[in-house]
Structure 1
Amino acid sequence: MYTERVSRLTGAVVWTNTPTGAGARPVLPDGCMDLMWSEGRLLVAGPDTRPYVPDGPARSWAGIRFSPGTAPALLGVPAHELRDGRVELADLWPAARVRRLRDRVEAAPDAATALEDITLDRAVWAAAPDPLLHRLVECLDEGRPVSATATELGIGARQLHRRCLDAFGYGPKTLARILRLRRALALARSGVPYAETAIRAGYADQPHLAREVRGLTGRPLGELLGGGG
């Protein structure tokens, strides 16, 4: 069973996922990165451009999902280096530090809250989120074109692409596609008809929606919703 709550870290979500006997569902691209805990391991989920299907036996997880573009400053590594990956935190930070954090999580009554506390401690020392990138996410999530957004933000295409690679793991066009997918799934899950979902989310029509959903998730929209998405 999957549960989540709003984090004390601005824009983040704290979550847990406990096996229920059903097969593991794919993790869909959402523009975010996560710090995760499972069976004594601390891992980082990089930004996905395709569905991620967990391998091995089902197990319980706890995690904190960072809002788009904010994790690299906290982790100290560019997002593109972690794209489509699941990486041990010890590969990014000194082993001794990670051992102390692992002991801290193991000793805590709630692993998810312990991860949240670790992140809040880290945020005190990390660089502040880039307001330009925050505004970029807002504009793209409103469905504005990438070129018009770049002009509005006063940044050139090459610089915008480079900064997006560092912050999100991919360029602004891919980010826009993923944010649009997220809007469409939210609308469809709330019961909005597919044709209306397509228009409201920013697609040309329902076939365009269908192609993009399958292209980014590997599954048709109806199957995603029927399986709980």
Structure 2
Amino acid sequence: MYEEARSAAVPGAVLWRSGGGGGTVLPDGCMDLLWVDGRLLVAGTDTRPHPAGEVPGGVFAGIRLAPGTAPTLLGVPAHVLRDRRVELADLWPAREVRRLAGLVEGYGDPSAGLEALAARRAAAAGPPDPLAAEVAARLRAGQPVAGIAAAVGLGERQLHRRSLDAFGYGPRTLGRVLRLRRALALARSGMRYAEVAAVAGYADQAHLSREVRTLAGTTLSAYAAGAGAGSGSVPGPVSGAGAEGVS
């Protein structure tokens, strides 16, 4: 079982709940604050599919934060958490995390507790870098990275560095992820694959198929049938934080 709803308190965020189980978590450019059987964790942005349920637990809840908004809230650059699931106590003082976990658990719905926690933290930390929202919006619109850099007044290398901190990877990777999410949504709607490729901005259907295999680890047919329809939210493996070079 998986349920989600838009957050009323944290702009651009989505609240979700899951009973665990199978499936695959696909890259979506977002970071999540998680509650798993009383533990608080963070899921970084992904560059590859993750099997759902690799974090032990029976009840999962989360708040999925819009691309580029989590680093300010968490106090760490996004690239440190890329393709990682870490205990929040690895990032914040353990004593404070235990207190916060108790507060979240006190809510009837842990996702509501996470929403309250995120809203308080966001208010204290201040607004995220506005550059992130602009870059993400331009990438969703299919603008090229060189054009985006010029529009925001940065060189491409500067934009790449800022994107690593905000999104966990460079703008080209984020653009591929966002384009893939759009294509998968169109495919699930019943649109013909050749039309999906054209509407989502791929060179052709073969290009789309390669990207689905690379980023989602499945095929369009399997995804459209529901076999690869991960939410992008249920956590993958827990590990220590670290950074790898992804462009």
TM over 0.5: yes
Once residues 84 and 7 of structure 1 are traced to their aligned partners in structure 2, the CA distance between those partners, rounded to angstroms, is 24
Partner SS state of residue 69, structure 1: coil
1:217 partner amino acid? A
TM-score, normalised with respect to structure 1: 0.95
Matched residues, number: 226
More RCO (CA 8 Å, sep 6+) = 2
* CA-to-aligned-CA distance 1:64-120 (integer Å, 9 cap, x gap): 000000000000001100000100000000011101101112222111100000111
Equivalent position SS for 2:181? helix
Residues 24, 58 of structure 1: 8 Å contact kept: no
CA distance in 2, matches of 1:132, 1:83: 20
Give 1:189-208 correspondences, 5 Å limit.
189-208=188-207
Choose between structure 1 and 2: higher helix proportion. Answer: 1
Please say if residues 145 and 156 of structure 2, whose CA atoms lie closer than 8 Å, have aligned partners that are also in contact. no
Please tell me whether the aligned partners of residues 64 and 116 of structure 1 are also in contact (alpha carbons under 8 angstroms). Answer: yes
Matches within 5 A, 1:52-67: 52-53=50-51, 54-55=53-54, 59-67=58-66
Q: Distance in 1 between matches of 2:145 and 2:55?
A: 39
RMSD: 1.2
**Which 4+ residue blocks in structure 1 deviate beyond 3 angstroms?**
none
Deviations 1:30-55 (A, max 9, x none): 00000001111100000000011132
Equivalent position of 1:28 in the other structure: 26
**Which amino acid in structure 2 is aligned with residue 105 of structure 1?**
V
1:58: how far off?
A: 6.2
Contact 2:32 2:64 in 1 (8 A): yes
Shift in alpha-carbon separation, 1:56–1:170, aligned structure 2, 3 A: closer
Structure 1 residues 1-229: aligned runs within 5 Å: 1-8=1-8, 9-19=10-20, 23-53=21-51, 54-55=53-54, 59-227=58-226, 229=229
Structure 2 residue ranges without an equivalent (≥5): 230-247
Query: How far did 1:151 drift?
Result: 1.1
Question: Aligned-pair distance for 1:224?
Answer: 1.6
Structure 1 residues without counterparts, runs of 5 or longer: none
Check conservation: 1:35, 1:115, Cα contact below 8 A. Answer: yes
